[in-house]
Structure formats: C-alpha cells, structure tokens
Structure 1
C-alpha cells in the first residue's frame, strides 16, 4: 500500500516534470520516455554509463535518480538526487523521489523528513494531502503508529489424498505368536480423493510501545469441507501474541503461540509454545534470519503421542536487482520431537529439513512463485508393530500465481505435490492438490 502511494506521488511529479523539462538531447528524451512507460531498468542502463561525464546536470541527475531507485539501485539513485537538491533545494519532484529512495533503503526517518520539506514549500492541496497520507503510511510501516489488519479467504480445490494415507491395499505388521503377516487395509486407511471448499479468516494488530519496541498479536482460523468424505474435514485456529524489538538493521521477535487442530469437528491435536527470531537486514538485497521454537503437542484421543517438539533454523533471503527481478529465500533447519512417555520412544524422532522459495514479478499485478522442500525424519527406536525403525523422506513443491485484480484483492491458483517415502508401507503416500483461492485484505 505504501509503495502504491509513493508510486502515485512520484508519477504525478514525473508527469509535471516531463511536460516542463527542456531536454538537452536525444538520450535524455529516450530515458524520459522509458521511465514514463515504467521501463526503469532499460532507462538506468541507458543513463548509468554517462554518469562520470554528466553528473551535475540537473536533468540528467534527476532521470538517473528515478531510474536507479525504481530498478533497485537505491544508493546510486539517492546520490544522483542529492546532486539535484544541492543545486535546486526547492525541487519538490526530486524530494518526493528521494523520500521513496530513503524508505526503500530502510531510512524511514529521512523519508519522513523529506516529505516534511515538501509540505514546508506549500504545495497545492491535492499534493499536500497525498504527502500526508504517505507520511502516515511510513509511520505504519515502521511501527510508529498502531495498525490493524484482517483478511477473509475462500477457495475451491481438488485433493488426491485428503487423509494422507497409503495407496497400498495391504501392509506387513507383526502379530504376537504369528509373526509378520499381511493385513488388508479398510477404505478409511487408504488414500481418498475429493473436491473441497475452504474458508479462512484472520485479524492482527501491531502497537508501538516505544520507538524500537512494539506489541503484536493475531488470531486466524480455517475450515475445509470435502465433498466426498466429511470424516476427514480439517479445521484449525491459531493465536499468537508477542513483542518485536528493532535496532538499526536487527529485529528481534518473541511470541507465544497456540494452535488447535480438528478433524471432522473433533479435537485431534493441541499445541502451545514459544517462538524466537532474529532477523538482520544486511543490505538492500540480503536478509539473514535465525529462528527457534518449542511447543508442547497434546493429542486428546491418543495420549501416547503427546510430545515436546523443538526446532531451529537459519534462512537467507536475496532480492536480485531490477524492478521485476526474482526474490529467493533458502532455509535449513533441525528439530527433535520427544514423546512424553518413554515407553513409546519409537514415536520420537529427529527432523532435518531444507527449503527454497522464489518469487518473481511478471507484471505489476501478477507475481509467480514456487517453493520446494525436503525433510528427513529418523525415529529413535524400532516400531514394535512393524519390527522396523521408521525413516521418512518427504519432498514437496508448489507453484502458483498471485494476481491482484484491484487493491486489497488477490486471486491465487496453486498446484502442490507431496511425496512421503517411508520404509514402513502404512506411512508411504503421495498427494496432489490443485486449488484456487480468493482473498480480501483489510488494513487500517
């Protein structure tokens, strides 16, 4: 929302500038046309080689600053616009653009100061109102004012395996006195497919407690109705409450979390725990994340599965340069799940995992994304029912699109696939889900 408002402000300034600017030559004319068409990267590539000989020319520096900031070269753009303001301190167009550059570079206070400078120059009423809205958006984005958000999401889909069950008709199991024998599985223990409808909603808030410290909380829930078999209808509710402390390029978060997961309206699992995270914004393009969480898992109908789950990981995000360049995030993690009753230690297991996600802007209203992950689960002891120590290799991936037909609305078609390769046949399965979701976001 903030970037949309900044874009509106900057384009308004650009149209004024281009209508009045007496361009010195064909190169600047071509760059100006590219910028008006939102082709920022080609404009930057056209102007950048000339910087050593043309730096200091107001028209050149202004166009270079706009093209650089919009194509991801924030520092170069800010330097160019600073040269403009050194010669023309009252240039509102340059100040509007440099404010955007400051904000994109993580300098929210400088961005706000530039907006204040524009207001001090007594702009017309429409521009003043737009700038004030941008200043409020900066305050919200930086946690300096209380914000609220909510969403509602509905969808339709097809799930090839709603109960995450094996496709095998028989499995080998150990029966005392008989040894290993093949048992025939009933329909409920084998994979079942179904079309489904889903509905989810949530709300959240963030309130500043001081300049660097803020309180946040959220609640969300989701329910799914399978057309063919309601016995496996899943639903859940999540709650979280926490604190975020931000200091320079580092953000620290601690949160209390609660989750209730139901199947066919019956409580299947309850969990509550604590999550910790440290995030460092290394530069405009790189971000490091370290996280850890622990949770108590309670199964009301199968108490032998009650456990303590602890997990920690490291992630790295990288945004490539360019207005449509992809963003990549890679993470690796390790965890341990220990059952409360040591008699059933064959259910305890170690968890090793890795995940990669990428997204790319295809159009200002359309984003493509894909993610893939691998998880290895190694159990501690031999399962007495199968006379094996269970090991699972799980691979999954998803591809999809996010289309924004209008502000606040998102349409998301997605295809996902999961394959759980287990050395015990009962837990060996795969699953394909095709879905389309429609989401409405509210922010105030």
Structure 2
C-alpha cells in the first residue's frame, strides 16, 4: 500500500468510526455521549490493535479524532505519545507525556518513556532527570536498578550527586575459571601443505606438534579501574589488568599478560572524547613474547532517536624480543555507529583499518573489515553479548618457501553471558561464560585453521 493510499484509507477509517460513534454531536453533548460511545465501539481496544500492528498514522488519527489532544485518560495519552513518537512527531509526543505526568505524577512508565524520548532527541540532562524520578518511584527493585544505571551513565563526570549514587570512583574485579581450546597453537587444518623449495613445488607433511593441539586448563585475572574527576566535564581514568592461563597437558603454552592505560576523558551533553596512552606485555613460558605501547584517541556523538556515531585513530609500536624481524610500528582508525533499541538493548557496527609495518616485509600487513555487536539485558541480572568480526588481511611480501604472498580472510564470532548471582550467594559475585569461534581462511595451507575457545568462571566485583 502506497503512503498516499494509506493516508486516504486512514482518513476513511476515522470518518467511518466518527459517524458510527456519533461524533457530529455538539460540544455540549460530548460528555454525555462519551460513555455511550465507548459502549458502541471500544475505541481504545481498536487503537491498541493498530499500535500492535505498527499502524502509527491510523492510531494517532483515530485517537485524536475521538479524544482530541487534551484527554484526561492516561491510557489514551500514553497511546497518543507512542504513535506520535514512532511517527517522528517528537514535540507532540513530548506534549502528551507531559500531560500524562500532570495527571499521573507517580507513573513510572510515563517518566521512563519520556526519559527515553529525551534521550532520542539528544536532551541528555532532561532524560537523566526523568530516569532518576522514575527510579525513585519504581516499586520493582530490578526496574529501579536499571533506571539508576541509566542515570549514572548519563551523569556528568564529576557531578556530586552522581558520585553519591555510585558510592565510589573505583572498581576491582577478580576472575577465575576453566578454559577449553581446540587449537592452542593455531595449527593448520591440513596435514600437508604446498611449498616451493629450490623452485620445485613440493608437499610437506606436518609433524604432530605442528598440527592443532587441543587442551583444557584454568585462567585467572584481576582488573581495576579508577576515575579521578577534574571537574564536571574532564576526568582521568586509570585502568589495569593482569591475567594468566595454564593448561593441564601442554605447559609450553602457558601464558600471562599485563595491560595498563591512562585516559583523559571529556564529556558534554551528548558528546564524549578520550585520548588514551596504553601499554601491553604478553609472555609465554615465562619469556616475553610481545611488548607493545601506543596511544588511541576516540570521540562519540549522540544523535536523535538513540543513535550514536563514533570514530577513533591510534598509533602503536610493537616489540618481539624473540624475532626482531617482527618488530613493527603501525596505525589504526575506525568509524562506526550504535543504536539504543531500548534501555536494555544496544546494537552497533564499526569498520576498522589497521596498518602494520614490520622490519621484515613478510610480517608487514594491512587489515580492514567490519565489527558487528549487540548487548542485551534480557533480565535485570543477566546480560548477553554477541559480536562478529571480519578481517581482510594482506601481507606485503611473499615468504620464500611459499608460492604466493599470504592473504587471509578471518572470521571471529563470539557470544557471552554475565549473570549476577549475588542475590543467592555473595554480593558482587557473577557467573560468566564465553564461546569464541575463529575461522582463518588463507590462500596458504599453512595458515588455514579454525579454533574454538570456551571459558566458564566466576568473577567477584568490588
């Protein structure tokens, strides 16, 4: 149905309802006719059906024709606010919500939805105010906690009231769990690989140690954050993490890492930005495998209707003590967007480009591709995450033993769950699980592999 046809049909439907409901009555007879009108046709039930069918235009036209724009019925005002919001008539929707709150000042739903609409149109401070009021009024602990999280997320960095609600500027989390990895060493899926030796094509048979190694083990880690507000717009955020993984059957793959970063943050209304120097050290078998440092700058702008756009640029310097040829310097950039579908669900996408220039051309490479992600709070205490990343990876030079320059298509998919079980155990305790699948498709047999990693553990947050 075309948009013009839809509008004509909506007008005809409303006209038919108006005639059947006796809307030609003079204004003085309106009150007496209202009860009889509801008995003849349940207008609100019809409107609810239209809203369920996403017929926003028809629902708005019906409700306005029957009830006008200053109804004293809360359910009518809520439906009028909903259809106006979905049609993009934000000023009308705001007026309906305000009218509803005048009539029902203790309505949690009205204030929460009004806060969501303010957030959609970029009026962050007013959104925060409505969420805070809804949190105070809510009788449900889970809803109140969710609304309070929204208030905290939208608060200026150093606002005293927000500090009082948070209770602290620091957070520490301790994690311990089990891990199972189907391919510790990234071994190729094939048992033989094509190579060129002395200009002659040959097939090389891989030793058992070069083929995929599967094992299970345990991992543990500690992460910490500290936020130091400079004023209501600027702050410093210090972050650090240490982790280690030990395998039951292959100790030569045991590893540990250390990461640290200090970010300068800025936020004003819907805009935020950061610049973050960072450092990371990765060791295997007690020897340093990689040490890298760099700096990343990132900016995010909130738009209307729950959208955000974001971009970043960065530089890094990587040192590999065991192989100087792999020492590299590089840069990265990204651009993306996210959409808040509801207070509980956010989805987003980002496109990343990274360039690494190593001392030896066979290790220099260019990577680019998209990242898709989603975060959903399916229950107040359960958060689900999902992500997918594709990387198109081109290496600069051909390795002498192989007939072609390496080119990989890498796919990484991951799902995770975080369940707050503190209500039944100890406050701050969380059950966490994650499954990651890696499919590295390469034009060279030696680098074609897949890998599955499953981890389950407990995290204690302080």
- Asked if structure 2 preserves the Cα contact closer than 8 Å seen for 1:62 and 1:94, the reply is no
Q: Partners in 1 of 2:458 and 2:63 — Cα distance?
A: 46
Unpaired runs of at least 5, structure 2: 1-34, 138-143, 164-168
| Secondary structure of 2:402's aligned partner | coil
- Flag the 1:63–1:266 CA change in 2: closer, same or farther, 3 A: farther
Compute the displacement of 1:405 (Å). 3.3
Q: Partners in 2 of 1:278 and 1:110 — Cα distance?
A: 22
Provide the residue aligned with 2:418 in structure 1.
402
Compute the displacement of 1:189 (Å). 2.4
| Secondary structure of 1:426's aligned partner | helix
Provide the residue aligned with 1:351 in structure 2.
367
Provide the residue aligned with 1:193 in structure 2.
214
TM-score, normalization: structure 1? 0.73
- Flag the 1:247–1:188 CA change in 2: closer, same or farther, 3 A: same
| Secondary structure of 1:347's aligned partner | coil
Q: Partners in 2 of 1:396 and 1:138 — Cα distance?
A: 32
Q: How many residues align?
A: 390
Greater mean alpha carbon deviation, residues 398-407 or residues 290-299: 398-407
Asked if 1:336 corresponds to 2:358, the answer is no
Q: Partners in 2 of 1:378 and 1:139 — Cα distance?
A: 40
Unpaired runs of at least 5, structure 1: 1-23, 35-40, 124-129
Provide the residue aligned with 1:260 in structure 2.
281
Asked if 1:240 corresponds to 2:255, the answer is no
- String of CA shifts for 1:322-362, please: whole Å, max 9, x gaps: 566x53211212221101x3xx2122111121121234444
After TM superposition, list the pairs within 5 Å mapping 1:244-393 onto structure 2: 244-320=265-341, 326-339=345-358, 341=359, 344-393=360-409
| Secondary structure of 2:407's aligned partner | strand
Q: Partners in 2 of 1:95 and 1:401 — Cα distance?
A: 29
Compute the displacement of 1:99 (Å). 7.6
- Flag the 1:292–1:54 CA change in 2: closer, same or farther, 3 A: same
- Flag the 1:276–1:304 CA change in 2: closer, same or farther, 3 A: same
TM-score, normalization: structure 2? 0.71
Provide the residue aligned with 1:10 in structure 2.
none
Q: Partners in 2 of 1:62 and 1:205 — Cα distance?
A: 47
| Secondary structure of 1:382's aligned partner | coil
| Secondary structure of 1:345's aligned partner | coil
Q: Partners in 2 of 1:185 and 1:395 — Cα distance?
A: 24
Asked if 1:436 corresponds to 2:452, the answer is no
- Flag the 1:54–1:149 CA change in 2: closer, same or farther, 3 A: farther
| Secondary structure of 2:243's aligned partner | strand
- Flag the 1:434–1:353 CA change in 2: closer, same or farther, 3 A: same
Q: Partners in 2 of 1:229 and 1:116 — Cα distance?
A: 53
| Secondary structure of 2:406's aligned partner | strand
Higher CA-based Rg: 2
- Flag the 1:283–1:201 CA change in 2: closer, same or farther, 3 A: farther
